[in-house]
Structure 1
């Protein structure tokens, strides 16, 4: 009890220091002029991936025309959002020509093409931490420029399904930030308002998707890194059950593979809810795909929905009025749609979710690519102004060097609490229930505000720690024109339930919009 109190005091002190440091940032922000990406004019950019693939297979649209449309849109908006690390446009056009040639000359009928190439000719973008052969694979580090020798397993599966990879999108250095910024290419902006963040670490993907410069993408998520950017940018993002998608080909990786893969996943990000299922089924591992039964019909009326009204989570802020409004709209809708009304539940351990997430993630294990001695040397270089690495990276080195050792007894209690919380959720959810919860306490904050809200991601990260599938769903816009959403959570391997609810939310509230 005393140790827990000490941890809270330390965290409160850190937050106070951050607030003081933030004062000059606040005044600098007053001189920034907000901008928004121009509206989408090409109708090809407004077609769902599933429908686009169907039209390409029927030779109603050429893949080349679609890829050219996306390249034009990327070139139009990237000067505003700065979301691209490196593109492969010439190679993508060649891939599109091959896709069109398959349609014309393979001898396969439409059904056979759909079975063999479910994403034939459809453009896709990839988070910059995920290997795409021939493109930068330095994980956002300016001091580590290396080209990927081969595709990540998930990227390879997407290519084999006929998808056309356009580019790799921006990330924070080593994915260690909820703001997408690095010393390599700079900061990515939210396309609805360039003074706001798209979140991180899959912020480049979310920003491109939101303004119609991408249709679907592959991100990664260890503490909300798919769902937070999806929430801030008003798109769909799914964190699957662990091990559903191979994470081979990601940088950074964890040295303790088992602990790392229990928390860390790849995940599909799309503009349209129905495309989540398509992309997930395409890149999932075969044994996991059969376990998930993604194509099994789910009657949304028979799903049981649960929610928590007030979390009062320590160190994480309460939900603002826009988030509460979006949340209440969803609950009210499913009260009508489902055979049973949404059920309010109380889970006391959720109040500690910020502490549980923060401490358990520090104990996941060191990142590969730099040994412990090098990390200590890097800390020294940073303190003397010689390091090329970002503040977040070096800070994590410090925390991971100290916290798990100093708080070893408390870490064991954290592990026990997580096990108890996992059991509580599974008992409530069963095999036909989902849990509805806001993705974040607010819509997209201003750039650099993430340091003031670092514990607010606990509402996302807790489900990484528990190993549950979760889907971010855009619901509405704030009065300032920023997207606001919620997340839907299910028990492990029941991803199809969250995807079904996401599709109903899109039908009811309209989903992604950019005008």
Structure 2
């Protein structure tokens, strides 16, 4: 009964949101599509692994590579608005020191083994600490600079990578739109009128625009997958507790935090995603992941749509992407035909995952305790007096109102999550994956994420279930917007997800640079949907 009442209330709120957006939707019709400038430097098309090989073979200098990326960042950032803080001069100095490493090495093999990313640039989400740079997580009032690197940043430095900057993220990482009052909103390279998603949106924008080749992001409800899907690149949410979350803000002292919150790799090429993943994984976790992979024996399950009155139906393009991937694996495995799962299996994905995340206590946020003071801040926001954004405020309001939910309902929901995991693990094993949408459509116009709040259950449920998941670009819409699929595996089957991602890249080409060209279509109708 409580769940039914909840759905009715939320359904009404979502409908009111859509009505309120009608004037904005009409105004958008008068804005023309713009994309970021084309990539003209061939260096920017090389995968990180190829850059590293050329640097250690002295075919190109690290300094040349770093300068190329700095120039590209300087070119596109004024229109993308994706950079919070940079360390370009320090990066150039570190690039010059690469020559010393090369001179002191006894063999190229030694360099490859010890420094697999020697001299390669990397960008970091603004919620992860990079020594000397702002560590704000998009919070206007947080002026702290990082005193030391986050554990993951330290790892990539140890293998020779050179951090260039920290990228934009929503305030406290609490939004599926990358916007804050610190530097503003990040734009999608394929269409500046559209969202990059969140919360690793700055990374998604830079990587897809050719202004970064690899990056590190974080994910509590889809943040390593949604922006990568909207920007046509690769992102992997790992299994719990195999990659350190130390050095991330916001953080949480609760024991359950690493079960639902994750740090992971982002890349323009699927092969680089695997390389960066191996570097980031904790040494004591590597043994859990060493399972043999034979893609000829791969079992594929898929889902094209979740039936829930609070969620939008998946677009025809999203369904087409799923169908293309399923068709490919049908003809490239020795197992039986790919199997579609019951669409009702994940029917309550959004409700389960949102309540699960709200129940985590002591997460760094705008308020103390369980949201005390959030209603006052909301009032200030309504009178344009708040220095925060609405999503951070509403998080506190929702936390405060948790007391109204009966303990019995919470207990039942947590039990339902456990049952759902058992049901999914009856399907998934160490030789099978689940392929499903990342979201219900391509990147929406700025602000429209508020009309899609429950669509993101496609991603967030796998944080609650503790399953690894990879966002994989597959194709582009007629408007030139990238869309892809999500590959989900059993616990600690990250390498299987990444191996499947490589196959998808081989079959469909992976990342495609933003282009002003588009097929003839009714673009006005596209923006109205």
| TM-score, length of structure 1 as denominator length | 0.96
Task: Provide the C-alpha distance between the structure 2 equivalents of 1:167 and 1:38, rounded to a whole number of angstroms.
Answer: 20
Matching residue of 1:114: 112
Matching residue of 2:137: 139
Matching residue of 1:269: 266
1:361 paired with 2:322, answer: no
Aligned with residue 158 of structure 1, among 146, 156, 159: 156
Matching residue of 1:414: 413
Does the CA-based 8 Å contact 2:307-2:343 persist in structure 1? no
Q: Deviations over 1:184-232 (max 9, x none)?
A: 1110000000001111000000000011000000000010001000000
Partner of 2:373, secondary structure, is helix
Q: Deviations over 1:380-439 (max 9, x none)?
A: 133034321111000000101112552422111111111111111112111211011011
Structure 2 CA distance for partners of 1:254 and 1:314, relative to 1, 3 Å: farther
Aligned with residue 331 of structure 1, among 311, 317, 326: 326
Partner of 1:186, secondary structure, is coil
- Unmatched runs of 5 consecutive residues or more in structure 1: none
Matching residue of 1:80: 79
Structure 2 CA distance for partners of 1:391 and 1:309, relative to 1, 3 Å: closer
1:10 paired with 2:21, answer: no
Aligned with residue 284 of structure 1, among 267, 281, 306: 281
Task: Provide the C-alpha distance between the structure 2 equivalents of 1:125 and 1:137, rounded to a whole number of angstroms.
Answer: 14
Task: Provide the C-alpha distance between the structure 1 equivalents of 2:222 and 2:11, rounded to a whole number of angstroms.
Answer: 22
Partner of 1:33, secondary structure, is coil
Deviates more, 1:93-102 or 1:76-85: 93-102
Alignment of 1:273-352 (within 5 A): 273-293=270-290, 298-340=293-335, 341-346=337-342, 348-352=344-348
Task: Provide the C-alpha distance between the structure 1 equivalents of 2:504 and 2:419, rounded to a whole number of angstroms.
Answer: 31
Deviates more, 1:296-305 or 1:416-425: 296-305
Does the CA-based 8 Å contact 1:67-1:123 persist in structure 2? yes
Report the alpha carbon displacement of residue 347 of structure 1 after superposing the two structures with TM. 6.2
Does the CA-based 8 Å contact 1:178-1:450 persist in structure 2? yes
Does the CA-based 8 Å contact 2:85-2:166 persist in structure 1? yes
Task: Provide the C-alpha distance between the structure 1 equivalents of 2:57 and 2:77, rounded to a whole number of angstroms.
Answer: 32
Task: Provide the C-alpha distance between the structure 2 equivalents of 1:330 and 1:365, rounded to a whole number of angstroms.
Answer: 39
Partner of 2:426, secondary structure, is helix
Task: Provide the C-alpha distance between the structure 2 equivalents of 1:354 and 1:184, rounded to a whole number of angstroms.
Answer: 29
Structure 2 CA distance for partners of 1:407 and 1:28, relative to 1, 3 Å: farther
Matching residue of 1:36: 35
- Unmatched runs of 5 consecutive residues or more in structure 2: 516-529
Deviates more, 1:393-402 or 1:13-22: 13-22
Task: Provide the C-alpha distance between the structure 1 equivalents of 2:308 and 2:122, rounded to a whole number of angstroms.
Answer: 37
Report the alpha carbon displacement of residue 309 of structure 1 after superposing the two structures with TM. 4.3
Does the CA-based 8 Å contact 2:367-2:373 persist in structure 1? no
Task: Provide the C-alpha distance between the structure 1 equivalents of 2:201 and 2:55, rounded to a whole number of angstroms.
Answer: 29
Deviates more, 1:94-103 or 1:117-126: 94-103
Structure 2 CA distance for partners of 1:120 and 1:297, relative to 1, 3 Å: farther
Task: Provide the C-alpha distance between the structure 2 equivalents of 1:360 and 1:324, rounded to a whole number of angstroms.
Answer: 28
Does the CA-based 8 Å contact 1:56-1:100 persist in structure 2? no
Report the alpha carbon displacement of residue 353 of structure 1 after superposing the two structures with TM. 1.0
**RMSD of aligned Cα (Å):** 1.5
Matching residue of 1:469: 468
More helix per residue: 1 or 2?
Answer: 1
Partner of 1:334, secondary structure, is helix
Does the CA-based 8 Å contact 2:371-2:400 persist in structure 1? no
Task: Provide the C-alpha distance between the structure 2 equivalents of 1:246 and 1:359, rounded to a whole number of angstroms.
Answer: 25
Does the CA-based 8 Å contact 1:308-1:344 persist in structure 2? yes
Does the CA-based 8 Å contact 1:170-1:205 persist in structure 2? yes
Does the CA-based 8 Å contact 2:225-2:471 persist in structure 1? yes
Matching residue of 2:523: none
Deviates more, 1:424-433 or 1:393-402: 424-433
Task: Provide the C-alpha distance between the structure 1 equivalents of 2:406 and 2:157, rounded to a whole number of angstroms.
Answer: 45
Does the CA-based 8 Å contact 1:314-1:354 persist in structure 2? no
1:446 paired with 2:445, answer: yes
Partner of 1:18, secondary structure, is helix
Task: Provide the C-alpha distance between the structure 1 equivalents of 2:447 and 2:366, rounded to a whole number of angstroms.
Answer: 27
Matching residue of 2:66: 67
Does the CA-based 8 Å contact 2:370-2:399 persist in structure 1? no
Report the alpha carbon displacement of residue 32 of structure 1 after superposing the two structures with TM. 2.9
Structure 2 CA distance for partners of 1:75 and 1:495, relative to 1, 3 Å: same
Task: Provide the C-alpha distance between the structure 2 equivalents of 1:286 and 1:303, rounded to a whole number of angstroms.
Answer: 27
Task: Provide the C-alpha distance between the structure 1 equivalents of 2:370 and 2:405, rounded to a whole number of angstroms.
Answer: 21
Partner of 1:56, secondary structure, is helix
Partner of 2:43, secondary structure, is helix
Alignment of 1:502-513 (within 5 A): 502-513=501-512
Task: Provide the C-alpha distance between the structure 2 equivalents of 1:450 and 1:457, rounded to a whole number of angstroms.
Answer: 9
Partner of 1:429, secondary structure, is coil
Task: Provide the C-alpha distance between the structure 2 equivalents of 1:132 and 1:10, rounded to a whole number of angstroms.
Answer: 43
Partner of 2:485, secondary structure, is strand
Partner of 2:276, secondary structure, is helix
Report the alpha carbon displacement of residue 371 of structure 1 after superposing the two structures with TM. 5.3
Matching residue of 2:434: 435
